[in-house]
C-alpha cells in the first residue's frame, strides 16, 4: 500500500483536526468541577470577621 507524500500529509492533518475536535467535545461534555463550599462550622476559615455590635447609649433618667 503505497501512500504518496501529499496523501500522507492530508491524512496526518485530518487526523490532527479530528483529535482536536474530539478533545474540545470531551471538554464541553465533561461535568463542571466541584467547588468547595465555605462552611460556618469553623470560624477560623471565614474570610471577613463579623463586626461587633455597637453599644447603644443608655437614656438619662428624667427627674420627677
3-class SS letters over 16-43: HHHHHHHHHHHHHHCCCCCCCCCCCCCH
For residue 48, the 8-state DSSP code is S
Cβ pair 15, 8 in contact under 8 A? no
Non-local (6+) Cβ contacts of 17 within 8 A are: none
For the whole model, what pTM was predicted? 0.44
pLDDT per residue, tens digit, the chain (64 aa), is: 577 889 999 999 999 999 999 999 999 898 877 777 766 555 555 566 677 778 777 777 777 6
Amino acid at each position: 500500500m503505497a501512500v504518496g507524500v501529499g496523501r500522507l500529509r492530508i491524512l496526518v492533518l485530518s487526523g490532527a483536526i479530528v483529535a482536536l475536535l474530539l478533545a474540545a467535545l470531551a471538554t464541553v461534555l465533561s461535568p463542571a468541577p466541584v467547588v468547595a463550599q465555605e462552611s460556618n462550622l469553623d470560624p477560623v476559615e471565614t474570610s471577613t470577621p463579623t463586626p461587633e455590635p455597637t453599644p447603644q447609649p443608655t437614656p438619662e433618667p428624667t427627674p420627677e
